[in-house]
């Protein structure tokens, strides 16, 4: 079976963009592929962090994977820092990744500008190499992510190609290896709709955990009245009726997309249903649909958080399964690079 790997950073709370762009698609994939879903806590320290918040966000994120329908019998659910192969492979890859490739990353440029230049940690620059290590350790074929991760996956492919070329093939064979490619070349998998969910306060910027205003995003754990209120206050325009895909109306396109995804309608059907409604008529309908979709997820989440030992068991089993797969790849890399085998 083909392999699938993906992850979410445990920073802040997960929002509808994380869910519609990524997690919801993982659920569909777990029946068809060998799946690994990771809470990438090592990535969460590339921006200044509070230890207590990290601890809490890591458990919450894992519980939200489960509440979204990821089944620990089908998928390995684990915490990145529990499998030390991630950090180790990241180091090995870093030494062969040109700094220029990393400086070109859009997210690095954006995030480093938000901080005092003196305080930007080296990890913010090397972040995508750790992400490449995550993916390459599992011989991943497909990486289900939102649009904003496309460039990082391109980079993971470039790193893998370069590494295979430099250390794979006959050179590796002479060192006692199997020869051929060390890493499989992964591909990004993006949903046809939902790969870029936009902010409620501005239809031209993406919904994000780090946006200052909480009113700009729909958090998966927002109570129904908060959700309804945020949608009520979402930015509108002065056009009559509602339209999907009019470039002058990004807010309408975004809210219709969300409506279609939470009701299970095609975007065409959703657009047709609401085209004659005013914003004032559409918003309560959207709010009801979002609440109806998230309520069962929130109920499952609350149950999961009540039982501390269940989540611990899931994460322990996930880490064990992941470690086994990851160490196989890591041992190949060590051998191909000429590291002394442990006696
Ligand atoms: P992160 O934690 O920022 O986001 C997690 C996932 O949610 C998607 N996403 C969105 N999708 C649609 N609309 C949005 N507004 C939106 N915002 C976020 C992201 O594309 C992502 O799929 N570097 C990654 C985490 C990571 C990873 C990996 C992912 C680390 N290692 C290996 C895949 C494979 C990140 O920061 O995602």
- Whether the predicted interface score ipTM is above 0.90: yes
> Which pLDDT does position 74 carry in this prediction?
98
Q: Mention every residue, 6+ apart, whose C-beta is less than 8 A from residue 255.
A: 231, 234, 282, 283, 286
User: Is domain 3-195+308-337 classified as CATH 3.40.50.620?
Assistant: yes
CA of 101 to the centre of ligand 1 (A): 20
Assign 12 a pLDDT band (cuts: 50, 70, 90): confident
Average pLDDT over residues 96-109: 96
**Residue 197 contacts residue 254 (beta carbons within 8 Å):** yes
Nearest CA owner, ligand 1 atom 33: 6
Helix 279-306 vs helix 250-263: crossing angle, to nearest 10: 50
> Which pLDDT does position 212 carry in this prediction?
85
Instruction: Identify the DSSP state of 40.
Output: -
Residue 210 predicted with pLDDT over 90: no
Token representation of residue 92: 């090995």
> Which pLDDT does position 13 carry in this prediction?
87
Q: Output the CA angle 331-335-340, nearest 5 degrees.
A: 105
CA of 37 to the centre of ligand 1 (A): 12
In percent, how much of the chain has pLDDT > 70? 100
Tell which one of 4, 10, 15, 22 to mutate to probe ligand 1, the residue whose CB is within 8 A of the most ligand atoms.
22
CA of 240 to the centre of ligand 1 (A): 35
Q: Please state the atom number of ligand 1 nearest to the C-alpha of residue 197.
A: 13
Residue 211 predicted with pLDDT over 90: no
Q: Please state the atom number of ligand 1 nearest to the C-alpha of residue 19.
A: 7
Nearest CA owner, ligand 1 atom 20: 146
pLDDT single digits (tens) 189-205: 999 999 999 999 999 99
Where in the sequence of the chain do the CATH 1.10.240.10 domains occur?
A: 214-303
> Which pLDDT does position 117 carry in this prediction?
87
Assign 154 a pLDDT band (cuts: 50, 70, 90): very high
- How many residues are recorded in the chain? 343
Assign 44 a pLDDT band (cuts: 50, 70, 90): very high
Token representation of residue 272: 């047709």
Average pLDDT over residues 66-89: 98
Average pLDDT across the chain, whole number: 97
111 among known catalytic residues: yes
CA of 232 to the centre of ligand 1 (A): 27
206 among known catalytic residues: yes
Cβ burial 168-190 (10 Å sphere, 16+ → b, else e): bbeebeeeebeeebbbbebebbb
Full DSSP string of 160-177:
HHHHHHHHSHHHHHHTTS
Nearest CA owner, ligand 1 atom 27: 7
Helix 150-167 vs helix 308-337: crossing angle, to nearest 10: 40
Catalytic residue among 171, 184, 209, 235: 209
Architecture field, domain 214-303 = Orthogonal Bundle (1.10)
Around ligand 1, the residues with Cβ closer than 6 Å are: 5-9, 17-18, 21-22, 40, 43, 131, 134-135, 143, 145-146, 148-149, 152, 195-197, 206-208
CA of 144 to the centre of ligand 1 (A): 9
pLDDT single digits (tens) 274-285: 999 999 999 999
Where in the sequence of the chain do the CATH 3.40.50.620 domains occur?
A: 3-195+308-337
166 among known catalytic residues: no
CA of 147 to the centre of ligand 1 (A): 8
Residue 243 predicted with pLDDT over 90: yes
Residue 160 predicted with pLDDT over 90: yes
């Amino acid at each position: 079976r083909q392999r699938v790997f993906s992850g979410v950073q445990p920073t802040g709370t997960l929002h509808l963009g994380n869910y519609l762009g990524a997690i919801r698609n993982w659920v569909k994939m777990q029946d068809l592929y060998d799946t690994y879903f990771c809470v990438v806590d090592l990535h969460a320290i590339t921006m200044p962090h509070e230890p207590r918040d990290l601890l809490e966000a890591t458990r919450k994120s894992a519980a939200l994977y489960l509440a979204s329908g990821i089944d620990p019998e089908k998928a390995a659910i684990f915490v990145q820092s529990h499998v030390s192969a991630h950090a180790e492979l990241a180091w090995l890859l870093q030494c062969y990744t040109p700094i220029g490739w990393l400086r070109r990353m859009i997210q690095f440029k954006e995030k480093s500008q938000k901080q005092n230049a003196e305080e930007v940690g080296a990890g913010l620059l090397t972040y995508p190499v750790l992400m490449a290590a995550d993916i390459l350790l599992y011989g991943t074929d497909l990486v289900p992510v939102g649009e904003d991760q496309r460039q990082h996956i391109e980079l993971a492919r470039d790193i893998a190609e370069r590494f295979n070329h430099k250390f794979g093939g006959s050179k590796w064979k002479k060192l006692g290896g199997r020869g051929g490619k060390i890493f499989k070349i992964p591909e990004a998998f993006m949903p046809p709709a939902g790969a870029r969910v936009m902010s409620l306060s501005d239809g031209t910027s993406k919904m994000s955990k780090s946006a200052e205003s909480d009113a700009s995003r729909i958090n998966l754990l927002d109570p129904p009245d908060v959700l309804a209120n945020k949608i009520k206050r979402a930015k509108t325009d002065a056009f009559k009726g509602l339209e999907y895909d009019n470039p002058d109306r990004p807010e309408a396109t975004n809210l219709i997309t969300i409506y279609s995804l939470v009701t299970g309608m095609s975007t065409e059907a959703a657009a047709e249903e609401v085209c004659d409604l005013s914003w004032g008529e559409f918003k309560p309908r959207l709010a009801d649909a979002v609440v109806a979709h998230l309520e069962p997820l929130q109920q499952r989440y609350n149950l999961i958080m009540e039982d501390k030992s269940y989540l611990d068991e899931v994460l322990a089993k996930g880490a064990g399964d992941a470690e086994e797969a990851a160490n196989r790849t890591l041992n190949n890399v060590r051998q191909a690079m000429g590291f002394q085998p442990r006696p």
